[in-house]
Amino acid sequence: MRLELPILRESELPGVRVAWGALDDPRRVPAELEGCLSASERERAGRFRFEPDRRRFVVAHAILRGLLAEALDWDPKGVEIVTDAFGKPRLGAAASGLAFNLSHTGERALYALAPGVELGVDAEELKPLGDMSRLAQDVFSASELAEWKALPEAERVAGFFGGWTRKEAVLKALGRGLDYPLRAFSVSLAPGGAARLLHAPVETGPASEWSLTSFCPEPGYLAAVVARREAAR
């Protein structure tokens, strides 16, 4: 049971498999995968008020289970997904060596899988924001804000989303939500430059233990993937 999803890159984060998929074409997902969702996933899907949101959730998680089943060479029904104390999804004890993470934005989803790491991903659609300056002050550290303000006006939307996706990917690798202080760590922002974690969250050790990459999966979107080797912890 294979999924027709492009594998985007492995070179910048060796061993990390990254896939980008469309959620608006259910034909890309074998119908039987939807039946492999867990009871809790089906219950979560049922909470969505609007049908497009429910469908995106179901398709995104069906694709995730298909990718995990391929990587493990298991039946999708045997893939157990649990959550830790912070609500981060992980594989059950039988496959605990494989890490994964998922991000979806509108009708697109980004997936990453790798053994022996902590993973985080984020993808965002590039679009104008009503009060980008205020948002930048809320989420960027002092050094990030200075870098963002120094960008040419034409690059500030990409710079904002570049920084946002990189910071969100770090939070997801930590298994933390937006309640974590976003200004407590710093990433590089410049579009087109090498993505770097400049100052790591204090409880995680030095930034050198992290690998971060940022890329455009298709026109109009930005994405980031971060990995931290468990051996470094």
Q: What is the model's pTM?
A: 0.86
Q: In the prediction, which pLDDT does 229 show?
A: 72
Judge whether residue 102 has pLDDT over 90: yes
- The class of domain 17-115 in CATH terms is alpha beta
DSSP letter assigned to residue 12: S
Q: For residue 232, give Cα distances in angstroms to 28, 91, 167.
A: 38, 21, 20
Both tokens of residue 18?
């990254």
Do the two domains 17-115 and 122-232 of this chain adopt the same fold?
yes
- Alpha helices (runs of H) in 131-233, residue ranges in sequence order: 132-139, 142-149, 156-174
Judge whether residue 196 has pLDDT over 90: no
Both tokens of residue 195?
């993505």
- Quickly tell me which residue has 């960008």 as its tokens: 151
Q: In the prediction, which pLDDT does 32 show?
A: 63
Q: Can you give the residue ranges of every domain in the chain?
A: 17-115, 122-232
Taking residues 81-88, report their average pLDDT: 80
Judge whether residue 101 has pLDDT over 60: yes
Q: Return the SS3 of 11.
A: coil
The answer to whether residues 158 and 152 touch, using CB atoms and an 8 Å cutoff, is no
Judge whether residue 191 has pLDDT over 90: no
Which CATH number among 3.40.50.300, 3.90.470.20, 3.40.710.10, 1.25.60.10 corresponds to the domain 122-232?
3.90.470.20
Judge whether residue 10 has pLDDT over 80: no
